[in-house]
Amino acid sequence: MTRPPLLQSLSFLVCLCLANSSVVFAEQPANTTEPLWPAGIPGVELTGDGDVPSLIITKAESDTPTAAVVILPGGGYGGHAMGHEGHEFAAWFHSMGMSSAICTYRLRGKGNDGKGYGHPAPMQDAQRAIQTLRARAKELNIDPNRIGVIGFSAGGHLCSTVSTHFAEANEASEDPVQRVSSRPDFSILCYAVLSLGKPHTHKGSQRNLLGVNPAPELLASLDTPTQVSAKTPPTFLFHTAQDTAVPVENSLLYYRACVEHKVPVEMHLFNDGSHGLGLAKKVDGANQWPALCQTWLTRLGMVKP
Is the model's pLDDT at 139 over the cut of 50?
Answer: yes
- 17 inside domain: no
Is the model's pLDDT at 113 over the cut of 90?
Answer: no
Q: The domain spanning residue 120 has which CATH number?
A: 3.40.50.1820
Per-residue pLDDT at 49: 86
Percent of all residues in the chain with a pLDDT value above 70, rounded to a whole number: 91
Ramachandran quadrant class, 180 (left: phi over 0; alpha: psi -120 to 50; beta: rest): beta
- 39 inside domain: yes
CA distance 3 to 224: 60
pLDDT band at 305 (very low <50, low <70, confident <90, very high): confident
Find the Cα–Cα–Cα–Cα dihedral 193, 70, 55, 26, rounded to 10°.
90
CA distance 252 to 237: 9
- 176 inside domain: yes
Find the Cα–Cα–Cα–Cα dihedral 78, 181, 290, 99, rounded to 10°.
-100
The closest of 203, 36, 51 to 128, measured between CA atoms, is 36
Is the model's pLDDT at 13 over the cut of 70?
Answer: no
Phi, psi at 239, each rounded to 5°:
-155, 170
DSSP letter (8 states) at residue 236: E
CA distance 175 to 36: 13
Is the model's pLDDT at 35 over the cut of 90?
Answer: yes
Ramachandran quadrant class, 237 (left: phi over 0; alpha: psi -120 to 50; beta: rest): beta
- Mean of the per-residue pLDDT values for the chain? 91
Q: Which residue has the higher pLDDT, 118 or 21?
A: 118
DSSP letter (8 states) at residue 292: H
- Mean per-residue pLDDT, 149-171: 98
Per-residue pLDDT at 8: 41
CA distance 214 to 172: 34
- 14 inside domain: no
CA distance 114 to 295: 43
Per-residue pLDDT at 28: 81
Per-residue pLDDT at 80: 96
- Mean per-residue pLDDT, 256-265: 98
CA distance 210 to 197: 11
CA distance 73 to 81: 5
Is the model's pLDDT at 272 over the cut of 60?
Answer: yes
Is the model's pLDDT at 7 over the cut of 70?
Answer: no
What is the number of other CB atoms lying within 10 angstroms of the CB of residue 264?
Answer: 15
- 5 inside domain: no
- 133 inside domain: yes
- 8 inside domain: no
Per-residue pLDDT at 110: 85
**What tens digit of pLDDT does each residue of 186-209 get?**
999 999 999 999 999 999 999 999
Longest CA pairwise span in the chain (Å): 78
Supply the range of the domain harboring residue 274: 29-300
**What tens digit of pLDDT does each residue of 36-55 get?**
999 999 889 899 888 999 99
Report whether 159 contacts 189 (CB < 8 A): yes
CA angle, corner 145, sides to 143 and 148, nearest 5? 95
pLDDT band at 17 (very low <50, low <70, confident <90, very high): very low
- 156 inside domain: yes
CA distance 76 to 157: 10
**What tens digit of pLDDT does each residue of 208-233 get?**
999 999 999 999 999 999 999 999 99
The closest of 111, 63, 107, 105 to 86, measured between CA atoms, is 105
Per-residue pLDDT at 6: 39
Number of structural domains (the chain) is: 1
CA distance 245 to 2: 50
**What tens digit of pLDDT does each residue of 69-104 get?**
999 999 999 999 999 999 999 999 999 999 999 999
Three-state DSSP class for residue 282: coil
